[in-house]
Structure 1
């Protein structure tokens, strides 16, 4: 996993919780996880998500769009 720090802006694929077959590229912020001190999290839509090796995180929107085209 790339080295991130709190305050970094990244891009992730986000599935609509109401329509699971729809995914979009969304901007998210890397933050200090308030639920797990010492860990980082993604902050997206007023929710904290764990930042793990299984999370597809992209440093730029262009990089995310290229991956999106490959996967979808």
Structure 2
């Protein structure tokens, strides 16, 4: 994560498709209080609560997420 976030923050995440490991997208998500784990924050993405971890690729702006996405997945770098 690039900075500490709080409940109610809108963020952008680089999300890998669990069914296709080589597919990733930038998605908008919200930081929320986890409804089943009191005191924990989570990402609300695709109508699901995802535990919020320190090593998640979570960004304040789409542009920040896009910069890392381009660095990691830009196919032109490898040709």
Larger-gyration structure (1/2)? 2
TM-score normalised to structure 1 length: 0.91
CA RMSD in angstroms, aligned pairs only: 1.1
Higher strand share: 1
Residue 14 (str. 1) matches residue 15 (str. 2): yes
Residue 59 (str. 1) matches residue 51 (str. 2): no
Structure 1: 5+ residue stretches without partners:
none
Larger displacement relative to structure 2 (33-42 or 1-10): 1-10
Structure 2: 5+ residue stretches without partners:
74-79
- Residue 71 of structure 1 is matched in structure 2 by 72
Shift of 1:39: 1.1
- Residue 45 of structure 2 is matched in structure 1 by 44
Q: Distance in 2 between matches of 1:35 and 1:52?
A: 16
- Residue 33 of structure 1 is matched in structure 2 by 34
TM-score normalised to structure 2 length: 0.84
Shift of 1:36: 1.1
Please identify runs of 4+ aligned residues in structure 1 that moved more than 6 A.
none
